[in-house]
């Protein structure tokens, strides 16, 4: 999980990152490939009373650490933000600077931090988490009213990364049912991968017993989907049901679960179903 300075510069230009921002990093990010001159520019804007020589030293040190070298510590986003007034905390299952140990599969936002964050970053984190419901509910609960989350998630390609690739339909529906304002949305290129990394071949659907029966490119382009969403109502997190790609009529006993979705939280729906299943 990593972030580049381009994302921080984008957020600053959008007015979503300021010296007084309270930021939650869902999955503590490494800082990759940060050029010294761009770190210098960032610290001149956000740094706290740093002398020019201090900025120059920090820019060189952090830039060098932002390049992955086997056996050496890679820079964290916290290393940069420690030199600013930005109030930063990361949630992760692995110890790291300015990080609280937090399991997105099971943990919930502590009461004293609910609705406290101006900005939440989900940069390539939730695709590694099986419990998607809890992960997105954590993000929702962390945001203050008017706060913004930026998701940067694997979408196209990525045949060998994480558990999930994200369709914009999911993020569009989450925005609609939770009444988030869509501030921005776009794709970004993210290198390439290939079909054969996990030993899988590609087969013709009419000849599935024949290995390698369909041609396939050696590499595939990877693209991240980026969504910037603003929380506009102080209500519980809710889920929807994706029906635009179905070719059948939804059963009435299921439809009634979603007919009053604006009045039902995701947690209450799941808990009700668990009670039904287990008596």
Q: What is the pLDDT along the chain (279 residues), one digit of tens a residue?
A: 799 999 999 999 999 999 999 999 999 999 999 999 999 999 999 988 889 999 999 999 999 999 999 999 999 999 999 999 999 999 999 999 999 999 999 999 999 999 999 999 999 999 999 999 999 999 999 999 999 999 999 999 998 889 999 999 999 999 999 999 999 999 999 999 887 767 788 999 999 999 999 988 888 899 999 999 999 999 999 887 777 777 777 788 777 776 655 444 444 555 555 454 444
Would you state the pLDDT for residue 277? 47
Percent helix, strand and coil across the chain, each to the nearest 5: 35, 25, 45
Would you state the pLDDT for residue 259? 62
- 3-class secondary structure, 114: coil
Cβ-in-10-Å burial (0-12, 13-18, 19+) of 265 comes to middle
117-123, strands of its sheet edge to edge: 99-101, 87-92, 22-26, 117-123, 143-156, 220-230, 181-193
Would you state the pLDDT for residue 261? 53
Q: How far apart are CA 37 and CA 164, in angstroms?
A: 35
C-alpha torsion angle, residues 132, 138, 140, 144 (rounded to 10): -170
pTM for the structure as a whole: 0.89
Would you state the pLDDT for residue 43? 95
Q: How far apart are CA 172 and CA 59, in angstroms?
A: 38
Q: Any idea where the domains of the chain sit in the sequence? A: 2-246
Name which of 66, 76, 82, 8 is nearest 32 in CA terms.
66
Q: Which two tokens stand for residue 169?
A: 């339909």
- Considering the segment(s) 2-246 as one domain, its CATH architecture is 3-Layer(aba) Sandwich (3.40)
């Amino acid at each position: 999980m990593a972030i580049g300075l381009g994302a921080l510069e984008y957020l600053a230009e959008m007015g979503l990152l300021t010296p007084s921002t309270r930021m939650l990093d869902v999955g503590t990010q490494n800082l990759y490939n940060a050029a010294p001159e761009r770190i210098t520019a960032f610290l001149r804007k956000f740094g706290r009373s740093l002398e020019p020589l201090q900025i120059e030293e920090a820019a060189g040190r952090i830039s060098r650490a932002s390049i992955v070298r086997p056996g050496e510590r890679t820079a964290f986003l916290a290393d940069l933000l420690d030199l600013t007034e930005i109030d930063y905390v990361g949630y992760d299952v692995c110890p790291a600077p300015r990080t609280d140990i937090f399991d997105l599969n099971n943990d919930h936002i502590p009461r004293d931090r609910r609705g406290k964050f101006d900005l939440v970053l989900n940069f390539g984190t939730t695709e590694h988490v099986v419990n998607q419901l809890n992960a997105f509910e954590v993000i929702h609960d962390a945001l203050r009213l008017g706060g913004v989350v930026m998701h940067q998630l694997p979408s196209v390609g990525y045949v060998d990364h994480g558990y999930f690739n994200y369709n914009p339909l999911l993020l569009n529906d989450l925005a609609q049912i939770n009444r988030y304002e869509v501030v921005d949305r776009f794709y970004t290129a993210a290198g390439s991968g290939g079909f054969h990394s996990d030993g899988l071949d590609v087969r013709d659907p009419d000849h599935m017993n024949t290995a390698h029966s369909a041609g396939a490119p050696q590499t595939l382009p990877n693209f991240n989907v980026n969504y910037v969403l603003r929380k506009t109502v102080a209500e519980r997190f809710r889920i929807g049901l994706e029906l635009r790609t179905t070719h059948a009529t939804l059963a009435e006993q299921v439809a009634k679960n979603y007919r009053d979705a604006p009045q039902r939280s995701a947690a209450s729906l799941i808990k009700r179903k668990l009670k039904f299943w287990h008596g």
